[in-house]
Structure 1
Amino acid sequence: MFDNLSERLERSFKILKGEGKITEINVAETLKDVRKALLDADVNYKVAKTFTDTVKEKALGQNVLTAVKPSQLMVKIVHDELTQLMGGETAEIDLEGRPAVILMSGLQGSGKTTFSGKLARMLKTKKNKKPLLVACDVYRPAAVEQLRVLAEQIGVPMYSEPDSKNPVKIAENAIQEAKAKGYDVVIVDTAGRLAVDEEMMNEIAAIKKAINPNEILFVVDSMTGQDAVNTAKEFNERLDFNGVVLTKLDGDTRGGAALSIRSVVNKPIKFVGTGEKLDAIDQFHPSRMSDRILGMGDIVSLVERAQEQYDEEEAKRLQKKIAKNQFDFNDFLSQIAQIKKMGNLKDLASMIPGVGKAIKDIDIDDNAFKSIEAIIYSMTPAERSNPALLNGSRRQRIAKGSGTNIQEVNRLLKQFDQTRKMMKMVTGSKMGKMMPKMK
């Protein structure tokens, strides 16, 4: 998401390049272009106008230091204002109480059920919580089954009452179940509803009153653009929810909802869904999102994802093997598996400053490692452990067995050899000695 907006904003800042100082004329010209970029990204008109007016006021009030170019100063001001527009500080989820109760709300098809599963998985793996999923959608027959399948996939219990058509009672009974069995978070998945459906809105209001949740999260499909903002406003008037969840941020969305929703409903965006996989959920960080919009990458999130896959014992074992020049294809496969667990490859690469723009039009398939894995799996266990065995005839056999060609096999072996030499050099350096202490 935000690719088009990022490109448009970069073009806008070029108006100031080469200018010796900020003036009312060149700022007005730049911000006219910025406002157009925001509107094209489906940002609410009032939000876009207020935003550019604030930036203009701050830009004209600044004295440009000789070391800072006007365009650089404008990027800094726009970055800070984008961050404020999206909430400023990162909003935490309230998990106080035993159990903490989280109520999901939103339109039908917004992704509530899937997000409930993602949130349960995240709380279990990252917060060491014992969540209980609750099926309170008594209208869509597949909803209970969908939640059951998700619960099984992530190893979390689910509470349902197949014969009941009373979601208020189901939610109340689920909380009693959680108290009795020691679950510390209850996630209540409800039916999708329209804000104009009075009966359905009354129902979710009754659920809220009965269970008094710590958090009410409004789940919205970011691809619906300004409709998402308008719907959020209507739901907030009825439920006074605590935060917003934007799903499908990996889709072909212009991002206007993320930039508008905070200003319109005055409630923070707490989570974003970034893909179909159950680990494709991120806490929303306004400053990091501003970095990405302005093409600065998001190195902090990249490091955090890497640390989630970090295994200290495995790292020590690997360092010893590298020091003895014993790094083999089994280790190589293990490293590939860790990278794949971190998420979508193009998304990961775009977090590196400067890389996002360079790969914008390049399709990076999630199966990019497929041919490498096929080649390695076509080796015998002895060959994987001892790459020196791979003579010409063995390479021919591996190429045939992996569905590749001899050139691809030779290329991989050459790259592997170069990687091994480089890793040994790093491990032998002072930096290498520090690595086990770094996390």
Structure 2
Amino acid sequence: MDILVRPTPELKGEIQALSSKNYTTRYLLAAALAEGTSTIFYPAHSEDSDAMRRCISDLGATLDEDEEKIVITGFGAHPRDVKELNVGNAGAVLRFLMAVTALSPDVTFVNTYPDSLGKRPHDDLIDALQQLGVHVEHEQGRLPIRIQGGSPKGGHIQVSGEVSSQYLSALLFLTPLLQEDSHIEVLGDLKSKVVVGQTLEVLKQAGIHIEFQDDYVHFHVQGRQAYQPTTYTVQGDYPGSAAILAAAAVTRSDVTVHRLEEQSKQGERAIVDVLRMMEVPLTHDKGIVRIQSQGKLKAIEFDGDAATDAVLAMVAAAVFAEGTSRFYNVENLRYKECDRITDYLNELKKAGAHVEERQAEIIVHGRPEGVEGGVEINAHYDHRVIMALTIVGLGAKQPLRIRDAHHVAKSYPQFFEHMTALGALVEWVQE
């Protein structure tokens, strides 16, 4: 379905931040890899986290969930022998499970989103798994992908960090379960190091010990470890909340978002610092962010590598800032659900924004007076693009119609419900 976003001068109200998708998927996997019963409080519900639920269940985990928590009895190092797994459009879930199913004899990951996840490359992880003795069949690094493992071997493993940190995280989940010790060496410039920190945090909570250097180049992983069943609590989600906060920044607003920890390891926590740099009036105390904005913003320069999933929302805010903003070191945005630089900026131009792209940069010439709007734009099946274009629609002079906006459910199913609760003028329309 499409969403129609009408010009909205004012937002007001309070919401609870969604639970973190990144932490939820990692906790679900850690619980599945434990022999015994773990409890996860406040797990996220989205297409991505639900894909992880579905797949670990297929692999032999038992799940019992109520409104507050999910109780999981894991399969440890012995996943059930299944022939196919369907991760939907969830790239991180695919990559984590490509590694875990190296413990299985023969699994094929099917391609149900040929125009999105089906286009994304996984060559670097495939190469690393082959170093472990795993046979992988694939379509030039893309889905469908067949993993024939069963007895992967540890040792010295080299993996590129140039495209995604998810390849490294996948190996960090797998290698503690191998019979041999492993030494993982990261080649090139590792992207999204902050997200690797989240993986290491979860592994530590699960009782897994990994030795590593601060530069995240070398990791020593002792084999024959066991994931411990335990209790986890999922924190609030900064990537999704970044869109809410940016929307509040570009309007006259008094918006409060709860459950956003000040000391979170989520790199997207930088949205708070970026909005401060843009001179947006806000406070952040005891997990509560409150924005009281007049819709006036200043241009900034920002290294987006550590806050990848908030950059599009930052760019949307910069569309209305006074001056020229630059977001650099963001090339990995090109390898997401769509090319989040070229595809996103093309849609922003249709809406009337003045933007430029470089291979690893986004340049925004702000228009404080607003953009024209009055057009239909394509979100390219990408949840982050949908949320960011919605922000732009709030400040447009005429309505924006965003195609296929229901794909926002990949990470934030309640996004438009929350926006409406704050006063945003949005409505679903039939295609």
TM-score by length of 2: 0.29
- With a CA cutoff of 8 Å and minimum separation of 6, indicate the structure with the bigger relative contact order: 2
**Bigger helix share:** 1
**Bigger strand share:** 2
The structure that has the greater radius of gyration is 1
